[in-house]
Chain A
Amino acid sequence: MLTKRIIPCLDIKDGRTVKGVNFENIRDAGDPIELGALYAEKGADELVFLDITATNERRKTLSELVTRIARHVNIPFTVGGGISSVEDVNVLLQSGADKISVNTSAFKRPELVDELAREFGSQCVVLAIDTRFEDGDWYVYLNGGRVKTEIKAYDWAKEAVQRGAGEILLTSMNNDGTKQGFALDITGKLSQNLNVPVIASGGAGTMEHFMDVFENAQADAALAASIFHYKEIEIQALKTYLYQRGVNIRF
């Protein structure tokens, strides 16, 4: 049976991981390759690298980094952050990324999703949505959550899937950073109504939260950053916990 996936997310700036990662058993916690390989070894099912570099050198640094990751990491990984064209994606896939994620650029020009799906196949096109609940519904936010739109997250997700997105990475801004659990309602709505996998993101604080999002919201995968980086939850222990409670998990 297809398993639920546990996905650590690494934020990258100028080729280095940001956020205070602290592991005794690696030499350089700022090195995305070393950290990624460690997570792979610990049982992560996939990795997401989110590039938040804003400089002009970004593209070159990122493609070099992707090549280094692909060389050393033997599980699939997604690269996101500032991707806005077929050419950007081509470079990253050629460098060895398995999937790419698009967010603001796809919202501003939805045809990008069609173009990417046609050129590279839906399986490598992940649509990332940042969403916030207000005035009774979940709305799409852009530019890393700074810009509000009037479009509902579900409507945009549905359109993007029709255009060829192969997976949805849904981050609830209400939950992100709270450690109070994932947004079960909107995650469940997307997961149960769209025929592509949904990755839940934002709010993971305990192992029970992962259980909830898999069992009660039917998420296909769950993504988290700081709880893994700060070792508040070990991936192995999390997988054991889920497995013992009947969730399909890879060991």
Chain B
Amino acid sequence: MKTVIIKYNAGNIRSVMFALDRLGVEGVVTDDPEAIKAADKVIFPGVGEASSAMRYLQERKLDQLISGLKQPVLGICLGMQLMCKHSEENDTNCLGIFDVEVKRFQSPVDNLLKIPQIGWNNVTGLYSTMFEHVPENSYMYFVHSYYAALSPYTVATTNYVINYSAALQKDNFYAVQFHPEKSAGEGQKILENFLKL
């Protein structure tokens, strides 16, 4: 089995590679279209800023390539947001795999909301094969200022002032807002489930 991690101008790629390594899987980091197309599994990670990431992908024509992939694809954090239609982060048009809007967290009037959300939060309404043997209310590690709104593609929900999509799924496209590679044993289980698809 060949697992590819898409290389682009976003961080945390190394962490994903190490997490795969702990599962005994070698992840190849590449932006070569042929290698990505030929992979059995594709991971689209990311910590970074939406507009510069989209520009990077467009310059290399990776945007169309990712949208057209037929094998299981897992977007993580910024990767998930880029798979949505549009992000409020610098008003960026994204890949549009999920017809979902990505918005910025807003402080309620009477309460100071800390942005980004940094830390462990629970996920509920788990409804995807990637969550097999992952208990309801498991805690996952989140670091983000923008969120994907709830939608028909939502397969896990988290609350931070509002309920939003902790995970999305449509056909062969899977996406999580949290970092499974940093979410201890439960996160590891999700990666393992994805690799078994």
Contacts and interface: CB of A to CB of B under 8 A. Distances in A.
Q: At the interface, is chain B mostly helix, strand, loop or mixed?
A: mixed
B48 A195 contact: no
Interface residues of B, number: 39
5 contacts: A70-B15, A121-B48, A123-B116, A196-B115, A221-B119
Contacts of A74: 19, 22, 181-185, 187-188
Given A74-B22, A75-B141, A250-B139, A195 B14 contact: no
Given A3-B139, A75-B141, A220-B114, 6 more contacts: A76-B141, A76-B182, A96-B14, A167-B118, A196-B115, A197-B118
B121 to A, nearest CB: 5
Interface in B1-28: 11-12, 14-15, 18-19, 21-22
Nearest to B187: A74
Nearest to B115: A195
A117 to B, nearest CB: 11
B119 to A, nearest CB: 5
A197 B119 contact: yes
B65 interface: no
Interface string A59-92: 0000000000011101110000000000000000
A202 B196 CA distance: 45
Contacts of B118: 123, 166-167, 197, 220
B101 to A, nearest CB: 21
A95 interface: yes
Contacts of B121: 1-3
A122 interface: yes
Nearest to B19: A74
Given A76-B141, A123-B47, A70 B18 contact: yes
Contact of B182 (A2, A98, A120, A195): A98
B120 A2 contact: yes
A132 interface: no
A119 B27 CA distance: 26
A195 B18 contact: no
Contacts of B112: 192-193, 195
A3 B120 CA distance: 6
B116 A95 contact: no
B143 interface: yes
A2 B160 contact: yes
Q: Which 6 A-B pairs have the closest CB atoms?
A: A250-B139, A250-B120, A96-B14, A123-B143, A3-B120, A71-B18
